[in-house]
Chains A and B, each alone.
Chain A
Amino acid sequence: MEQKLIGIQRDVLMQIEQVDNIKDLENIRVQVLGKKGELTSLLRAMGSLSPEERPLMGKIANEVREVINQRIEEAKASISIKQQELDLIEEKIDVTIPGNFVSLGHRHPLMQVKKELEDLFLSMGYDVVEGPEIDTVENNFDDLNAPEDHPSRDKTDTFYITENLLLRTQTSPVQIRTMKSRKPPIRIVSAGRTFRFDDVDDTHSPMFHQMECLVVDKGVTMANLKDSIDKFVKTLFGENMKTRFRPHNFPFTEPSAEVDVSCLKCMGTGCDACSFTGWSMELLGCGMVHPNVLRNCGIDPDIYSGYAFGMGIDRVTMVKYGLSDIRLLFDNDIRFLEQF
C-alpha cells in the first residue's frame, strides 16, 4: 500500500509538471483527491489493514495528499502569473491615441476676470454689491459732482432713456446708492456693465465693463488708498509690478490720480510697447471721495473720508490675455470662448 501511495504521488506530480492551465489542474485534483479519486479510493481500502499499520498508512496518505495539494497550488500560482503576463501583453493599447474628451464648459473671459477681481476684494473685506444698468442722472452725474456742463453728460457721450434716466456710464452710481443706503464704515466693490456713446472699433465698444471700489470711514487717507492699490496690483499681476500715481481730474474725487503699472512687456526697463517709459498707461483711476459727493449722500466730510478707485474690466482682460481687438469679447465665437 505504501508503494501504491508513493506511486500515486510520483505519477501525479509528473502529471502536474506537464499541465499548463488551471482547468487541467482542477481535473487532476478531482481525479486524485476527489470523492471518487484514486487516493480516496485507496484510503477506503485502509480498513483491511492491521491496527498497527493503519495509523502509519494514514500518516503517509495525508502527507501524499498534502504534497499533491501544495504542488497543485504552486502550479496554479505559477500558471496564473504566466497567464497574467500573457494577458498584459495581449492587452497592450496605443497610449498615444487622444483621450476621450469629457467636454468642460468655459466661463466668458470677461466674467472670469470680473469674478477674479471681485473675489480678490472679497478676501480683503469688501462687500460685492450691484446696481442697475439703467440709472438716474442724479446717481450717475449730479450726486457724483459732475459739473453741469461736463461733456460726458452730452447726448453724444451718454445714452439716455429719458431726460432723467440713462444707461449708466460708469459703475460709480453704485457708490451713491451704497452711501445713501448704508452708514460708514463702507467697503464695497461693484462690477458690471457700463455704456458710452462710442462706435465699435478695436478698443471701443458702446457696452463695456467696469469695476470699482469704495471705502468710507473715519480717518481714511490717500496713504491707505495707495496701500490698497499696491496690494491689488501685486496680487493681480505679481510682486514685481510697480505702480505710479499721476495726479488727474475726476469730478467725484479730489485729489484724483491715475495709476500706471509697469509695462507688462518689459516690466519697467523700457521698450517700444511703452514708448520707452517703462510704464503701461492708465490701469485705473482713483482718488479721495470728493466732499461734495459725501455731502450729497448725507455723510459729513468733516467726520468721514473715503477713497474710490475703478478700472475697465475689458481692458484688464485684454491686457491679461493679450487681446488687441475688443470685438472678440462680444462676438462669442466658440473657438474663442473655449480658449479660456
Chain B
Amino acid sequence: MLIPIKWLKEYVDIEGLSVRELSDGLTLSGSHVDSIINLNKGIKNVVVGRILSLTSHKDADNLKIAQVDVGSNVVQIVTGALNIRTGDLVPIALDGAVLPGNKRIEDTIIRGQASQGMMCSYEELGVEDKLVPKESKNGILILTSEFELGKDINEVLGFDDSILDIEITFNRPDCLSILGIARESAATFEKDFKFPEIEILKPEDEIGQYLKEVRIDSIDLCTRYYAKVIKDVKIGPSPLWLQRKIMDAGMRPVNNIVDATNYVMIEMGQPLHAFDLEKMDGRKVIVRAARDGETILTLDKEVRQLSSDMCVIADQENAQCIGGVMGGFESEITENTKLIIMECANFNSKSIRFTSKKLGLRSEASSRNEKALSPQNVSYANERVCQIIEQIGAGTIVNGHYDVGITDFDEKTVMMRPYKCHELLGVSIDTDKMLKILNSLELESRIEGDVIVSKIPHFRPDIEQEVDLIEEVGRIYGFEKIQPQALKGDILKGTRSDLANMEESIKNYLSGIGFYEITTYSFISPKKYAMLNISEKSDLFRDIRIINPLGEDFSSMRTTLLPGVMDVVSKNINYGNKSGMLYEVGNVFRSEKIPVIDLPQEIRTLSMAMYGDTNYYQMKGVVDNIMKQYQIDVEYVSVKDNPSYHPGRTADIYHNDICVGVLGEIHPSVAKKFDIKEKVYTTELNVETILSLQTTERKYAEIPKFPSITRDMALVIADQFEVGEVIKEVNSKSYEFLEKVEFFDMYKGKGIDEGFKSLAFSFVFRSKNRTLNDEEINQIFNNIVTDLQNRFNAKLR
C-alpha cells in the first residue's frame, strides 16, 4: 500500500516527525514499511508557464514556436509537442534547469530559432509512465488546474513529499487505506486522528425520480448495497491535486468521476463503482448470481463467461457489472454520460477471490473486495465520494440513497484480563497504559471489575478474542521493549528419533567414503516409471498424484528415488563430470489404495549411484559395509527379472526372507532413456528395514593369543555356481578350527575349460587354546577340498 505522507497528514497530526522516524515507528508497531520513495528528484528551475501563442516553424514542418508566459517574463520555446494548445498551463524548464538524472537544460537555437528552455512531460519530470494521465501521455504535461505563473513545479506537483510503501497483512484490510494507516500512526505516535467531515452541500431532487429499484437477490454474494445517483455529470479530467494524489498512491488518473472513486477507495479502503444509469434497463439495479452460461463484455472489451457462483450487478435483463471485480463495457462512463449510479457494496470476499481468479481479473478493487471489509464503511465511502464529486464540480448529487441488504449491525465487545496480558507478553504494563493504547486504536475500552472491556469498531473484524487485544497492547507498547528472559524449567536433553539417528549415521559413513549427497524433488514426472521399464503391474507404478501440479513433470509422488538419482547422474555426465558417487536419503510414497483416501505410507529410503571408473563390486562393497556396520547378515540373491536392471548384474539384498533393497547395474536400455551411455550402478535400500534389523549391541571378542594357519585353494568349478554358494556350503559344515573363509580371486581363460572358472579362496584356521600344527590342519583342509569337489563337481587347479 502506497501512502503519500502529505495525504496521511490530513488525518493525523504527525508534523515534526522525520520520514525515517515515521517509517521506523510504523514498522515496529506492525505496519511494515518495505521502502520509502522520495518524490524529490532534484528538479530545479522548472516553473509553470502559460502558452500565449503557437506558430509554426518556417524551416521545420514538425516544430512549433511557442511564446510562453512564465510570470516574470515571456520566453520563446521551440517544441515538437502535439498535445498542446494555446492557453494551456505547462511546466517550463528554464535556462539552467535541472531535470531528474541530473539532466541540464540551457538556452539553445533550434533550426535558427532561439529556444529558451523546454516544455516538460511527466516522464521528463521523473513520473512513471504507467501513472501518467491520458491527456498528458506521449506529450507535454498539461496542468489541469490554475496556478500562479512562474511557480516552482516541485510545489505544484507536490514533489516535496515522500511515499511509504507498506506491507499490509491479511488480517488488516482496513489498513489498505490512508485512513487505516492514519489510525495506526495516531496510536503509534500518540497523536490525534481525525475522520474527514462528510457533508453534501447542495443535493437536488430525489433518488426515486431517477432510479426505480435496488434489490439484492443473492444476499450470500452481496450483503449490503448502497447506491447514490449523480446528475448533470460533466466528465473531464480531474483537478491536478486529485490527479497527483491518486498518482502518488499508484493509480493512473482517468476522468473526474473514476478518479473520485479511486480517491475514496485509497482514502477509506472501500472500492466504489460508478456506471451510467441511463444504460440500466428499467432503471433498476438487481444484485444477483450470474446465470450459468451468461456472458458479459467487460470494460477491457473482453467477453467473459460467467457462472452461478459469481455475483453480477444487473438491470432488469442483463448483467452490467461483475460485482466487485470489474465493470461492464455497456454501462461504462463515457464523455457523454450525464446520469450515474454510484455503487458501494459489501461483497462475499471468497466469491470475489474465486471470481477474480477464475476470470484472471485482478484490480485494486477486487484485491480489496476479496478481503473481509467492513460493511459499515459502505455508506461513509459512498457519501464521501459524492462529496468529492460535488467539490470538484463533476456533477450534482441527488438527494437520498438506496441502502439494501444487511444494515443492522451488532455491537461487539471483547474482554481482556490484564494479568493474562502480563502472563503472555512477559512484561508488566500498567492497566492505565493498556486502556490508553486500546483507546488510541479506537477500541473504546474501560475497566469493569478485574477486566478491560473493549468495544470493537466496525473496521476491526480481526479482533475476536482476548489474545487479539493482548496483541494490540503488545505491538503498540512495543515488542522491542519486552526484555528477553530465559525459559524456566528443567534443563532438558533433546533427542532425535532412532530413524533420524540412523539416517545421520549412514550419511556420515557415505560422506567418509566419498559419496556426495543430493536433494531432488519429492514429485516427479510419471513418465519416469516407464523410462525405468517399470511394468504397469508393479507397485512402483501405482503412484499418488497431485491434483493440481505445476505441470505433468511435477505431478507424481515418487515411489522410488531412482528417477531423481538417474536424472542427476545424467545431468552431471552432461556437465562433463567424469565420475560420480551420489546418494539421496528421502521418502518414497506408497498407498494400498489408489486413488488414496487416507494418509499414504512414507518410507525412508536410501538411493546410491556410481558412475565413471567403477564396477558392480565397488557398489556392493559399499552395501556390504553398511550391513556390517549395523550387524545385519544379508544374502545377495541374483535377480534376472528386475526390468530396470541388468539381468546378469543385479541382486536383491535379503536378510532371511526380508528384502532390504536392490543393488545392480542399470539396464542399458534404461540408461539410454536417461541419455546415459556409460554404466551406472545403483542401490536402493529401505532405511526403515535396516533400522528394524540392526543390532546396536556389541560385545568384546577376545583377541586371539595363538597364531593362525592359512591355506589357499583354487577350485575349478562350473560357471553356473556362484562364490556365495561355495562360501555358504563351507560355512554350513562347521569345520574344526576354521575361523573364516574368504574369496580372493576369479580366473577364466587359458588353462581353464570353456564353461568353467577358477575361484581362489583363502581358509584361516585357529585354535583359542594352542598353536596348531600343519599336519592336523592339512587333514581338515583336505576334507574341505574333498567335500567341495563332491558338492560342486569341482577340481583343484
Residues of B within 8 A of A121 (CB): 494
Complex Cα gap A278–B465 (Å): 36
B493 nearest CB neighbor, chain A only: A125
B703 CB–A CB distance under 8 Å: no
B426 CB–A CB distance under 8 Å: yes
| 9 pairs, CB–CB < 8 Å, chain A vs chain B | A111-B519, A124-B494, A159-B523, A197-B548, A226-B479, A254-B470, A329-B519, A332-B520, A334-B572
Stretch at the interface among B164-172, B281-289, B744-752: B164-172
Residues of A within 8 A of B171 (CB): 249
- CB contact under 8 A between A227 and B519, given known A161-B544, A305-B423, A334-B572: no
B494 to chain A, nearest CB (A): 4
Interface string of B15-37 (1 = CB under 8 A from A): 00000000000011110100100
Q: Please state if A335 and B172 are interface contacts (CB–CB under 8 Å).
A: no
Q: Please state if B484 and A223 are interface contacts (CB–CB under 8 Å).
A: yes
Residues of A within 8 A of B554 (CB): 206
- CB contact under 8 A between A162 and B467, given known A226-B482, A334-B572: no
Q: Please state if B547 and A162 are interface contacts (CB–CB under 8 Å).
A: yes
Q: Please state if A223 and B575 are interface contacts (CB–CB under 8 Å).
A: no
Residues of A within 8 A of B504 (CB): 115
CB < 8 Å A-B pair total = 243
Max chain B C-beta neighbours (<10 A), residue from A149, A199, A335: A149
Q: Please state if A104 and B511 are interface contacts (CB–CB under 8 Å).
A: yes
B519 nearest CB neighbor, chain A only: A108
Q: Please state if A255 and B471 are interface contacts (CB–CB under 8 Å).
A: yes
Complex Cα gap A302–B597 (Å): 37
Give the interface size bracket for A toward B: 35 or more
Residues 249-288 (chain A) with a chain B CB within 8 angstroms: 249, 254-258, 275, 288
Contact with B487, one of A122, A133, A227, A255 (Cβ below 8 angstroms): A227
- CB contact under 8 A between A220 and B471, given known A161-B596, A206-B554: no
Residues 148-164 (chain A) with a chain B CB within 8 angstroms: 148-151, 154-156, 159-162
Main SS at interface, chain A: mixed
Residues 79-124 (chain A) with a chain B CB within 8 angstroms: 103-108, 110-111, 115, 118, 121-124
A21 CB–B CB distance under 8 Å: no
Interface string of A116-144 (1 = CB under 8 A from B): 00100111111111101111100000000
- CB contact under 8 A between A156 and B507, given known A104-B514, A150-B170, A246-B27: no
Q: Please state if A221 and B485 are interface contacts (CB–CB under 8 Å).
A: yes
Residues of B within 8 A of A223 (CB): 425-427, 482-485
- CB contact under 8 A between A134 and B589, given known A160-B546, A224-B486: yes
A38 CB–B CB distance under 8 Å: no
Q: Please state if A161 and B547 are interface contacts (CB–CB under 8 Å).
A: yes
Residues of B within 8 A of A290 (CB): 467
| Known interface pairs A105-B510, A105-B514, A155-B548; 10 further A-B residue pairs with C-beta atoms within 8 A, sorted by A's residue number | A103-B514, A106-B511, A107-B507, A148-B350, A154-B353, A159-B546, A206-B521, A249-B170, A255-B474, A275-B35
Q: Please state if A254 and B516 are interface contacts (CB–CB under 8 Å).
A: no
Q: Please state if B172 and A249 are interface contacts (CB–CB under 8 Å).
A: yes
Contact with B516, one of A106, A134, A207 (Cβ below 8 angstroms): A106
Q: Please state if B507 and A134 are interface contacts (CB–CB under 8 Å).
A: no
Q: Please state if A245 and B511 are interface contacts (CB–CB under 8 Å).
A: no
B357 CB–A CB distance under 8 Å: yes
Residues of B within 8 A of A110 (CB): 519
A291 CB–B CB distance under 8 Å: yes
B21 to chain A, nearest CB (A): 13
A26 CB–B CB distance under 8 Å: no
A9 to chain B, nearest CB (A): 49
Complex Cα gap A136–B549 (Å): 17
Residues of A whose CB lies within 8 Å of any CB of B are 103-108, 110-111, 115, 118, 121-130, 132-136, 147-151, 154-156, 159-162, 165, 167, 185, 187, 189, 193, 195, 197, 199, 206-207, 215, 217, 219-224, 226-228, 230, 244-249, 254-258, 275, 288, 290-291, 305, 329-335, 337-338
Residues of A within 8 A of B467 (CB): 254-255, 288, 290-291
Residues of B within 8 A of A187 (CB): 492, 494
B71 CB–A CB distance under 8 Å: no
Q: Please state if B602 and A133 are interface contacts (CB–CB under 8 Å).
A: yes
A330 nearest CB neighbor, chain B only: B519
Q: Please state if A108 and B517 are interface contacts (CB–CB under 8 Å).
A: yes
Stretch at the interface among B579-587, B758-766, B784-792: B579-587
Residues of A within 8 A of B169 (CB): 248-249
Stretch at the interface among B86-94, B154-162, B495-503: B495-503
B353 to chain A, nearest CB (A): 7
A255 nearest CB neighbor, chain B only: B471
Interface string of B201-232 (1 = CB under 8 A from A): 00000000000000000000000000000000
Complex Cα gap A125–B495 (Å): 8
Residues of A within 8 A of B499 (CB): 130
Residues of A within 8 A of B497 (CB): 128-130
